[in-house]
Chains A and B, each alone.
Chain A
């Protein structure tokens, strides 16, 4: 009995000691910096280190590549086509000794690696903006013959907005578009907005870059009185607008612009979006009139109800009350 117990104990200890940790096939990768903005003259070169970290529990085989893009949506998400090509892709290279573009490399679990990106712009390069995304993808594994289902691959990226120019700030052409109130109590008559003076109002706006170079959206959203006295000032979230594209504008917290008028904000006001950067200036204003819209509606409704009640009571036949003998 004692022997059996000791043997069982040995077996249990052996099992505990030899048990290996098992992990589901998961993925986790980080990249830094997620955005690179470069202004460079033809004939110059730079290097930039991108740090990637394997946040997963297993080693990963990865592939680094660069994909050009020329379009983006209203929120700054590039429209990527992995098959796209551009002659300027040859300006980029990896200075790592072990890692090359489009060739697999292994990143151990928990390890970090530096991708040393070099950008060498030839003297003869065109003066233009070039946009690309550095992609790091999991290498496609061959699936087992008994596996029925989907093998998931992951790609992470970092955007690069590069201006090749002889000037630090080549001119560009920004225009504020679709600037209007979107939420709140308001009435539009012609180009004039009548806003309720006690309700918060939200404004929406986009900016269009009709120029050939990237512009920034640094500036202010402000509300001024008829005598041009500012009553509200808010910063615009500084984001990039690539050439020939447009972007939604937000305040510095990433929300639509919002103004909560106080009771003394009555009368004509001007709501303005002003962008002033090193290579672009633009301004758009809308004329608004704050007045107690809800209070007025409430008052009119109350007066109407009172008048109606008075009319109804005055029309009630007197004799039905005064001459009970008619019954």
Chain B
């Protein structure tokens, strides 16, 4: 049967090398593990669920490909079956980490204030967010500092005459003959283009009249971002004596 078979030595060598190469490839190159989720056990069986096999950020060695993915998430079946879907994909795992907000001191007590000599007090706002989408902290006051008679007030600052400030536009307030109440921000996630230095102040927006003003914000995750609020009060000698009070609300909301 094989008597007429003529072997070309050149071809034989090629076949031999090819065979060795294929043998080497099949036996040495590692085969990646196939992963699957077993939804059964002796005590339970999950018939419908969202199982995420993998997910997260991935990139190649040279860094020219950077992607995030979610593998294994089901959606359509659940919506048709139950009539609702609450988003909880692996890609959204960050949304399960709590968003937290801290304020170091809730009572900003100016005590006795000497006319023409500014008094400052401060507290620290701290934000931590597991959300990848950032946050904002807004501020608003119920009314300007006022006496219990409800009419006598210390006006909110308009800063120096030459450098007037607005609720969303800080400016220099260093003239001790300019009276009022205002605040400065310093630290992390503040608008440094607006609060250029410690002499830059803004008046607080007033509830039911103005929109709250953003005092801290970030488009991305934040871990213990801390900013100092410095409250400044300077009164005229003609200001009526008494205990002036107001309330300032800081609203911390994560972005979506």
Closest-CB distance, B32 to chain A (whole angstroms): 21
A255–B132 alpha-carbon span in the complex (Å): 12
Beta-carbon contact of B98 and A152 below 8 Å: no
Taking CB atoms, residues of chain A closer than 8 Å to B249 are 137, 152-155
Partner of B254, one of A34, A83, A154, A255: A34
**Which residues of B are found within 8 Å of A248, using beta-carbon distances?**
219
Task: Tell me the complex Cα distance, A30–B127, Å.
Answer: 10
Q: Nearest CB to that of B249 among chain A residues?
A: A153
**CB-CB < 8 A to B134: which residues of A?**
75-77, 254
CB <8 Å contact, A150 and B248: yes
Number of residues of chain B lying within 8 A (CB) of chain A: 76
A148-B111, A149-B109 given; A37·B100 CB < 8 A? no
Q: Which of B77-95 contact A (CB under 8 A)?
A: 79-80, 82-87, 91-92, 95
A283 at the interface (CB under 8 A from B): no
A28, A34, A146: the one contacting B129 at CB < 8 Å is A34
By DSSP majority rule, is chain A's interface helix, strand, loop, or mixed?
strand
Contact with B along A284-297 (1 / 0, CB 8 A): 00000000000000
User: Which of A51, A75, A152 sits near B103, CB closer than 8 Å?
Assistant: A152
- Complex-state Cα separation, A153 to B208, whole angstroms: 16
**Which residues of the partner chain B approach A26 to less than 8 Å between Cβ atoms?**
102-106
Residue contact A155 to B252, C-beta cutoff 8 Å: yes
Complex CA gap A243/B131 in Å reads 21
Query: Does B220 lie at the interface of the complex (its beta carbon under 8 Å from any beta carbon of A)?
Result: yes
Interface segment, one of B5-13, B17-25, B62-70, B160-168: B62-70
Please determine whether B98 and A34 come into contact, CB atoms closer than 8 angstroms: yes
B66 near A76: Cβ-Cβ < 8 Å: no
Give residues in B with beta carbon < 8 Å to A: 57, 64-68, 75-76, 79-80, 82-87, 91-92, 95-113, 121, 123, 128-136, 138, 141, 145, 148, 208, 211-212, 214, 217, 219-221, 231, 233, 243-256
Q: List 30 A-B contacts (CB under 8 A).
A: A25-B106, A27-B106, A30-B99, A30-B128, A31-B98, A31-B99, A35-B92, A35-B133, A40-B85, A41-B79, A46-B84, A55-B102, A76-B256, A80-B253, A145-B243, A146-B243, A148-B112, A148-B243, A149-B111, A151-B247, A153-B247, A154-B103, A155-B249, A168-B75, A168-B85, A235-B67, A237-B132, A239-B256, A252-B66, A254-B132
